[in-house]
Amino acid sequence: MELCLETGYTSLNHIGEELCGDHVESSVNGDYTTLVLADGLGSGVKASILSTLTSKILCTMVSHEIDINECVATIIKTLPVCKERGVAYSTFSVIHVNRQGHGYLFEFDNPEAIYYHNGHATDFEREELDVCGNTVFKSELNLVDGDIVMVMSDGTVHAGIGLILNFGWPREKIKEYLDHHLNHQMSARAAACVLASACNEIYENKPSDDTTVAAVRIRQRLDVNVMVGPPVNKEQDEEHVQRYLEGPGLKVVCGGTSSNIVARYLHRPLKPSLEYPDHEIPPIAYIDGIDLVTEGVITLRRLLELSDKYVSTSDLTPKYYEKEDGASLLAEILFEKSTHVHFFVGQSVNSAHTGLEIDTTMKLKLVERLTANLRLMGKEVTLLYD
């Protein structure tokens, strides 16, 4: 069983501010993923500068296995001093973990991280350290499939102060909320959005503090193979389909011509659905042995729109898709379920598109833009053109 790590976060800006005073930085170096959430002092431009410097410096140093004492010392020496308060201050949480789930968590003045394990939000054991005169907490990480580590800025526990909650949202109540609204199949990005959306509701859509939730999730690898269009040379149809089918994982076909080629190769009927869950999206079809069969360009256009919203760190719409149209079904597979995506792109001109504002170039651009967004989601994407 091959395990993978995924990360994601959602941020709410302090009302009236264009910049968020929190910043999240993540990187992958070999087998390790490093994620840093920093919360700059105050809000606006100054806070944004402080948190950006902190997160970028820490992420770079920690990902290269530099000792935490040296990392914190560097932060103290580097951050500019606030003239009003006389301090250079940015809190932070650092997750450094490998694909086997082993690593550590360091926390400095941010709310305590939440560990989602076996369907329950719980706590890590914490060791108190003195680092350059500052109290830093360290936790060992030994994660298993489905575990999620959630770190956050203090805008989460301050949610609702002076509004519907007199004293903010206590951490224990946050854990209770997550117990009822998270599940182990959610992506890291979806989990972060669940908590950030709840905070926004408590703030009545007017956050009085920058609020950021970031998550790291460990999960099993899942490959998805997507065939988009037939090859230029019809004589290559069989070879193209054979390569597409021989890879591990889920199988998706986009486009009517591609669907017919696959059905013919498998000697199985292509059965169109008669249901229209979304009247703007053509219905799906079925081929035994293929996980999803959709229409081509129109479905891909909608999929791209959904991907733009998904990668936005400020978008609060749910990161799961309950609708049954082809674009929503494909979004759930690619955005939430997959870790590795393989596009098999045929460059043949479709005669059915003659006279329409659809051509091969448009299809290729859609796939390229989807690929860019999938990579922003942390997916590993390969492209094979025929």
Q: Which domain holds residue 374?
A: 223-385
Distance CA 214, CA 157 (A): 14
Q: Are residues 35 and 114 in the same domain?
A: yes
Residue 239 CA neighbour count, 13 Å, CB half: 9
Q: Which parts of 126-169 are beta strand (E)? A: 127-131, 134-142, 148-152
Q: Are residues 190 and 321 in the same domain?
A: no
Of 161, 191, 220, the domain-final residue: 220
Region 255-277: what's the mean pLDDT?
94
Of 169, 200, 220, the domain-final residue: 220
Q: Are residues 161 and 214 in the same domain?
A: yes
Interval 150-198: pLDDT, tens? 999 999 999 988 777 667 899 999 999 999 999 888 999 999 999 999 9
What's the whole-number average pLDDT of the chain?
92
pTM: 0.92
Q: Are residues 214 and 244 in the same domain?
A: no
At 260 the three-state DSSP class reads: helix
pLDDT band per the 50, 70, 90 thresholds, residue 237: confident
Q: Are residues 293 and 376 in the same domain?
A: yes
**pLDDT of 242 over the 70 cut:** yes
Q: Are residues 106 and 134 in the same domain?
A: yes
Amino acid (one-letter) located at 162: G
Q: Are residues 368 and 230 in the same domain?
A: yes
Interval 47-77: pLDDT, tens? 999 999 999 999 999 999 999 889 988 887 7
Interval 306-324: pLDDT, tens? 999 999 999 999 998 989 9
Region 261-268: what's the mean pLDDT?
96
pLDDT band per the 50, 70, 90 thresholds, residue 113: very high
Q: Are residues 171 and 242 in the same domain?
A: no
**pLDDT of 203 over the 80 cut:** yes
Total domains in the chain come to 2
Distance CA 366, CA 150 (A): 33
pLDDT of residue 361: 77
Biggest CA-to-CA distance, the chain:
75
Q: What is the CATH number of the domain that holds 153?
A: 3.60.40.10
Q: Are residues 83 and 124 in the same domain?
A: yes
Q: Are residues 272 and 355 in the same domain?
A: yes
Distance CA 193, CA 314 (A): 9
**pLDDT of 352 over the 90 cut:** no
Region 270-275: what's the mean pLDDT?
93
Of 163, 198, 220, the domain-final residue: 220
User: DSSP label at 332?
Assistant: I
pLDDT band per the 50, 70, 90 thresholds, residue 294: very high
Closest CA relative to residue 26, chosen from 187, 178, 215? 215
Q: Are residues 212 and 227 in the same domain?
A: no
pLDDT of residue 359: 56
More confident position, 252 or 162: 252
pLDDT of residue 46: 86
Q: Which parts of the chain are beta strand (E)? A: 3-12, 22-29, 32-40, 90-98, 102-108, 114-117, 120-122, 127-131, 134-142, 148-152, 211-220, 223-228, 250-254, 271-272, 285-286, 292-294, 340-345, 380-385
**pLDDT of 131 over the 60 cut:** yes
Q: Are residues 158 and 229 in the same domain?
A: no
